[in-house]
A = this chain, B = another copy of it.
């Protein structure tokens, strides 16, 4: 991971500020010959887009993605390629910023909003694009989602699904999690029973101008055994970095995660039996990863998001001049940034897995050694 690049072989470089002319990313290392048009990417961006409900920011952006390079429709050889495909060269994608509402930013131009990165950027760089958060804006995550859409196309056979599993103090019962129902409600809830509880909580939060944290869970099924690598290339280490790099993320756990601290070895270590397609684990405390390498079980992770820092209460802060001030963050905002994080967590998981797959193929040819097959 470089500053604005992540991945080793499937490499994503993102750029852009909230109120600049556009944002985008360059995806390098994508295998050639993969069918890819904007239509493969736009639906994932549409899922992420703000402005889709009263509990998410009112900013209205079409977030229309354009592919500027790295694909080709080969008229002369169309029968072979069957339409527009990736060429193996870098794929540049751009999303114009349309709704750069011309509001007055002068109040926060030199003030540091509590909980925001304003002061940290100032301390580091001495200059910052304060409009809408600049580079620290959650708009940057649109580029991640676009890259993730390409990663998904590489990951044939892998299904990646996210869900919100906690909002504020209200957590979904783990036993009732069903990733297939998250699309049936505006909260990405994997259990319909939690929906009215969250709705009530969020309505209170919204009315009071406050905000609330959340936890997002993600599950990748169909990941074969063998992806990842020892020590610093561990699949869970890569996943942890990728998810922790998302705006407002404050924690990442794999499988049983922090709960594993309270378990005994008997409770935690997943026993094995032989299944029809190889070893079968009788539980999944490991979250599908042992020694940093996938085991063939579903890869599971959870990411904690802090409450949005933009709230209506008057807060104590300081400004660039070193003066103590009281500050209220006005304007549109999300009461629960975690609600918008689901597509982003999914996208980062997809990118990490696509990268792991290419690295695994590089070192070993790509297969997995099956017990009994030797």
Q: Is chain A's binding surface mostly helix, strand, loop or mixed?
A: mixed
- 19 additional A-B residue pairs with CB within 8 Å, beyond A250-B287, A322-B371: A1-B1, A9-B359, A13-B13, A13-B28, A14-B90, A17-B72, A32-B124, A32-B363, A81-B127, A114-B271, A126-B369, A213-B263, A236-B244, A236-B250, A240-B243, A256-B306, A269-B307, A321-B371, A359-B362
Question: Roughly how many angstroms separate A365 CA and B90 CA in the complex, as a whole number?
Answer: 18
Instruction: Please name the 10 residue pairs, one residue from A and one from B, whose CB atoms are nearest each other, closest first.
Output: A322-B372, A117-B291, A115-B269, A251-B253, A76-B109, A362-B362, A211-B265, A120-B293, A241-B241, A123-B225
Q: Is A156 an interface residue when CB atoms closer than 8 A count as contact?
A: no
Residues in chain B near residue A110, CB distance under 8 A:
76-77
Residue of B nearest to A135 (CB): B89
Residues in chain B near residue A306, CB distance under 8 A:
256, 260-261, 263, 268, 285
Shortest Cβ gap from A41 to chain B (Å): 16
Stretch at the interface among A45-53, A181-189, A191-199, A272-280: A272-280
Q: Is A231 an interface residue when CB atoms closer than 8 A count as contact?
A: yes
Q: Is A3 an interface residue when CB atoms closer than 8 A count as contact?
A: yes
Question: Roughly how many angstroms separate A117 CA and B228 CA in the complex, as a whole number?
Answer: 12
Residues in chain B near residue A85, CB distance under 8 A:
127
Q: Is A55 an interface residue when CB atoms closer than 8 A count as contact?
A: no
Q: In this complex, which of A94, A231, A310, A364 has the most chain B Cβ atoms within 10 angstroms of its Cβ?
A: A231
Q: Which of A103-122 contact B (CB under 8 A)?
A: 105-106, 109-110, 112, 114-117, 119-122
Q: Is A257 an interface residue when CB atoms closer than 8 A count as contact?
A: yes
Question: Roughly how many angstroms separate A151 CA and B169 CA in the complex, as a whole number?
Answer: 39
Question: Roughly how many angstroms separate A362 CA and B366 CA in the complex, as a whole number?
Answer: 9
Stretch at the interface among A18-26, A57-65, A172-180: A18-26
CB of B87 within 8 A of CB of A123, answer no
Shortest Cβ gap from A69 to chain B (Å): 5
Residue of B nearest to A275 (CB): B318
CB of B26 within 8 A of CB of A4, answer yes
* A13-B90, A72-B127 given; A122·B262 CB < 8 A: no
Copies in the complex: 4
Q: Which of A70-101 contact B (CB under 8 A)?
A: 70, 72, 74-77, 80-81, 85, 87-92, 94
Residues in chain B near residue A32, CB distance under 8 A:
124-127, 363-364
Residues in chain B near residue A234, CB distance under 8 A:
244-245
Q: Is A330 an interface residue when CB atoms closer than 8 A count as contact?
A: no
Q: Is A128 an interface residue when CB atoms closer than 8 A count as contact?
A: yes
Number of interface residues of A (CB under 8 A): 176
* A264-B168, A364-B88 given; A231·B4 CB < 8 A: yes
CB of B87 within 8 A of CB of A134, answer yes
Residues in chain B near residue A360, CB distance under 8 A:
124
CB of B307 within 8 A of CB of A260, answer yes
Shortest Cβ gap from A169 to chain B (Å): 4
Residue of B nearest to A66 (CB): B21
Residue of B nearest to A266 (CB): B313
Residues in chain B near residue A366, CB distance under 8 A:
365
Residues in chain B near residue A75, CB distance under 8 A:
106, 109
CB of B373 within 8 A of CB of A362, answer no
CB of B268 within 8 A of CB of A213, answer yes
Residues in chain B near residue A31, CB distance under 8 A:
363-365
CB of A261 within 8 A of CB of B305, answer yes
Residues in chain B near residue A169, CB distance under 8 A:
262
* A13-B26, A306-B268 given; A261·B123 CB < 8 A: no
Q: Residue-by-residue, is A222-256 near B (CB-CB < 8 Å gives 1, otherwise 0)?
A: 00011111111110111111111100011111111
